Amino acid sequence: MNKRLAVVTGGIGGLGTAICRHLAHDGRRVVAVDLDDRPERLARFTADTAGLDVRFAPCDVADYDACADLIDRLGRELGPVEILVNAAGITRDATLRKMERTQWTQVLRVNLESVFNLCRHVVGGMVERGFGRIVNISSVNGQTGQFGQTNYAAAKAGMHGFTMALAREVARKGVTVNSVSPGYIDTEMTRALREDLRAQIIASIPVGRMGRPDDIARTVRFLCGDDADYITGANIPVNGGLFMSF
């Protein structure tokens, strides 16, 4: 059997790189999709994935036509996408009273519309072939809301609504669709937080520390397994106990 092709959006970011590595270790051919506007990120990603079956494909996932072109090109050059992990995400934190319209639209486009843009172009093929794994990286802040994140929380909660709806549409076709909701993970995104806020957040995490990208990547790898065929429409929290629910 051919090695299954996996696409990871936000693939050269903190979580994305770890996800690429774990999927490659699981025997997948991996394509990391991301913007190529920051050479230092790309260099770090290249070093972190050296020797693995992982390559980089530049694409703005907020651009519907660019996503169509990307999936078409990958299909011709590498074969059909059988695993899709939507991990592209940005923050533009501000209280709603101060939020600029662009802060709203950028976050909704990158975090939520990108999920539509990619899923729309891969799901037909997955259904036809009778196999697919889609994992959307949501957030604890989509489950609880967070001060200064009306944009981000709306997008992240929206991702899980999308997950459940699509899961129903493809459940009989061998395609699973799930969300993973990270808590605060030690990446560039959380390192950008004001030091006093970071300290407050860590103090409120029952495990007593931020999570590691590998904690998320392990969960994604599990959901993408060929044998993980009876988990769909689920949300798996990986948050150090920050938000407990059932």
Which active-site residues does the annotation give? 152
Q: Which CB, 146 or 235, lies closer to ligand CAA?
A: 146
What single-letter DSSP state applies at residue 165?
A: H
Which among 86-94, 167-175, 213-221, 227-235 is the span making contact with ligand CAA, rule CB under 6 A? 86-94
What string marks each residue from 137 to 166 as x (binds ligand CAA by CB under 6 A) or -? --xxx----xxxx--x--------------
Is residue 110 within 8 A of residue 117, CB to CB? The reply is: no
User: CA end-to-end span of the chain, whole Å?
Assistant: 38
Exposure string of 70-108, with b = 16+ CB inside 10 Å and e = fewer, is bbeebeeeeebbbbbbbbbbbbbbeeeeebeeebbebbb
Report the alpha-carbon distance of residue 28 to residue 116 in Å, rounded: 23
* Residue 105 binds ligand CAA, judged by CB under 6 A: no
- Using DSSP, state whether 235 is helix, strand or coil: strand
Q: Which CB, 78 or 90, lies closer to ligand CAA?
A: 90
For 93, the enclosing helix (H) or strand (E) is: none
Instruction: Give the residue among 104, 18, 88, 97 at the shortest CA–CA distance from 54.
Output: 18
Q: Which CB, 68 or 189, lies closer to ligand CAA?
A: 189
CB of 94 to ligand CAA, least distance (A): 6
* Residue 34 binds ligand CAA, judged by CB under 6 A: no
Q: Which CB, 87 or 122, lies closer to ligand CAA?
A: 87
Instruction: Give the residue among 67, 6, 15 at the shortest CA–CA distance from 41.
Output: 15
Which among 13-21, 42-50, 136-144, 163-171 is the span making contact with ligand CAA, rule CB under 6 A? 136-144
CB of 205 to ligand CAA, least distance (A): 11
Site for ligand CAA in 168-227 (CB under 6 A): 182, 184, 189-190, 193-194, 197
* Residue 111 binds ligand CAA, judged by CB under 6 A: no
Is residue 62 within 8 A of residue 117, CB to CB? The reply is: yes
- Using DSSP, state whether 244 is helix, strand or coil: coil
Which among 12-20, 46-54, 70-78, 133-141 is the span making contact with ligand CAA, rule CB under 6 A? 133-141
Q: Which CB, 181 or 232, lies closer to ligand CAA?
A: 181
CB of 195 to ligand CAA, least distance (A): 11
Residues whose CB is less than 8 angstroms from the CB of residue 198 and which lie 6 or more positions away in sequence, other chains included:
190, 191
| Contact footprint for ligand CAA (CB under 6 A) | 91, 93-95, 98, 139-141, 146-149, 152, 182, 184, 189-190, 193-194, 197
